[in-house]
Chain A
Amino acid sequence: MLNCPICSFSENPDDSVYCTECGGKIAEESQPEPQVVAPPPPAQPEPQVVAPPPPADLQNPGGILVLPDNSNIQVETAPKTIGRMELINYLKTLQGVDPMTISRQHFTISQENNTYYVEDGNTVVQDKASSNRTFLNGVDITDKGQQELKNDDVIDLANTVKLTFRL
């Protein structure tokens, strides 16, 4: 079953290209266009030996991004961009901060095989890197490909908003 990224309808048959609920496009047509930029592989493939067994609740791993005001954003299974809109309520409370500092698509968060990744660049859902950069635990990751996320990692958007990743 496929989730519709527009209306969240979750009962689309696996071969659907169009959502049966809202009619929106949920996947590329069966003959995929040649991908101009191949999605970069994870920066450091995990050595199999060290990988811990996946937790029992694999179906609902439930990563969240915690904002400084303790509100949070649920990380979904599908790759998702985080940007100005997702943070707008918090941005409005900041004095003297121009919301435009945060890009509309600031970074992409994704999940593969129970591992979460953050990336700021051209991804399957993001058009281009953010204007004012993304830092992971203080290190600039803009246009540096996918980075693995661990519990309590801090993602800093444009030196303006710090989000804490929690598993």
Chain B
Amino acid sequence: MTDFKCISNRTHVKSNSGSVIFIGVDLFADQSTILQSRHLNICLAIDCSGSMQGEKIERAKESAIILARSLSPNDLISIVTFEYKVKVLLAPTLASEQDKIENVISSIQVGSATSLYGGLQKANDLASKNAKSGRITRIVLMTDGIPTDKENPKDYEKLCAEIRKDGITVNPIGIGDNYNDELLLRISDSGGGEWMHVTDPHSQLPNFLREQVTMMLNTIAINPELKLEFIPGAEIIDFYTVKPILTKMELPQRKGNQYVLNLRDLVIGQEQTIVFRIKLPHQPSGTYNLLNASAIDKNVDMSITYTEDSTLYNSEPNPDPRILLFATEGTVLMRKGMDGDTIALQKAETILKAVPTDPDATIALNPATQATVMNLKNIHDATVMKPNLSEAEKKDLMHDTTIIRRKENK
């Protein structure tokens, strides 16, 4: 069953006055959701730059073979490698041709340079050929370095947004300490995927690749939209996704009173949590339709009452969305602080003081909110305890505070 929830922190605001409220949105499909079985179409884009030599490339090859073996005979797989040159190693091929696939993977060799953009472009050429035939399509990008062809994250965001329009998901996997985590995070945001961070290729890579197949098989909606129609004059002023990825999102385009947001693919068992900061218009006393929200086949209506009664407008029936937004905002600022932005660090510290970190105070909150608050506290303590974090420690911390879901599973 698909569960769709919208919660605001306040139900009453002051008449004829400006107010800011918070709305949390939760979308979840549980195990009982009826799944249509669909064929898969997966494209592996593998970094073959010199730095991949040795353990990394060998584990990548081994994991690619494991992934290919876990596919059903009618699923499609294609492979692109990129170093200085971008090569199509395997055009889309049915997984039933196991020998051919394994021979191709075994033949992979390293070169020099990292044409990541070119590799991603070529992967899209291959993946998009069969994306519209109802197959669940995913590009899995494995890299350990900084791109040498295009460096500007904006170029990648633009490309990934294009890829995403065809319903294709881009999942970047970063290996080791030398890749650009910020870039991979942006690729996963715009490509609708999940950034994965591999510190130990031997134990993690095979699992991560197998997980890709499981997630594809459990996908029940590709590129779903969240439609939000607000009371006229209301405005989204901040927008964060908390699960499966904690990140600040670009403000969506507004058409009239309606916003349309692209969500990640809905996967069974994977919760999507989003939180908004909303500026409300001035209104005379009365009850109004605050919001009509819809996603997949679900619909939620919410109302808001403008009143002169200070007991009502000063009450907060559910502090959860407010605390969730501040904890998320603080975490995003803290990450900037980790990279040396002292103003962001100070802001994060102020926010940390404004969210309850005492276990007694957080007990009534949703698990996702609790986890986000604890995350903020952890990232803060780790950063302040060790002002000079190594690159490896920073990446671990960045990743731990990005993927809240994994944190809870630990």
Contacts and interface: CB of A to CB of B under 8 A. Distances in A.
A125 B350 CA distance: 12
Given A17-B314, A19-B20, A6 B385 contact: no
A22 B316 CA distance: 15
Contacts of A22: 20, 277
Nearest to B278: A23
Interface stretch (A39-47, A62-70, A83-91, A133-141): A83-91
Nearest to A16: B314
A20 B346 CA distance: 22
B310 A15 contact: yes
A20 B18 contact: yes
B335 to A, nearest CB: 16
A21 B20 CA distance: 7
A5 interface: yes
A84 B354 contact: no
B188 to A, nearest CB: 28
Contacts of A92: 387-388
Interface residues on B, range: 20 to 34
A127 B345 contact: no
A152 interface: no
Interface string B248-277: 000000000000000000000000000001
A20 B20 CA distance: 6
Given A5-B354, A29-B314, A24 B322 contact: yes
Contacts of B350: 5-6
A107 B322 CA distance: 27
A50 to B, nearest CB: 36
Contacts, number: 71
Contacts of B277: 22-23
B342 interface: yes
A89 B342 contact: yes
B354 A24 contact: yes
A63 B351 CA distance: 24
Contact of A99 (B315, B322, B384): B384
A30 interface: yes
B322 A30 contact: no
A29 B309 CA distance: 13
A150 interface: no
Contacts of B353: 5, 81, 105, 125
Interface string B315-351: 1100100100110000000000000001001100111
Interface string A1-45: 000011000000101111111111100011100000000000000
A127 B358 CA distance: 9
B239 interface: no
A24 B326 contact: yes
A105 B353 CA distance: 9
Given A6-B351, A23-B322, A92-B387, A30 B20 contact: no
A69 to B, nearest CB: 15
B21 interface: yes
A29 B20 contact: no
Interface in B1-42: 9-10, 17-22
24 contacts: A6-B351, A13-B17, A15-B310, A16-B314, A18-B19, A18-B20, A18-B314, A19-B20, A20-B18, A20-B20, A22-B20, A23-B19, A23-B22, A24-B326, A25-B322, A29-B314, A29-B315, A85-B349, A85-B384, A99-B384, A99-B387, A104-B384, A105-B353, A127-B358
Interface of B: 9-10, 17-22, 277, 310-311, 314-316, 319, 322, 325-326, 342, 345-346, 349-351, 353-354, 358, 384-385, 387-388
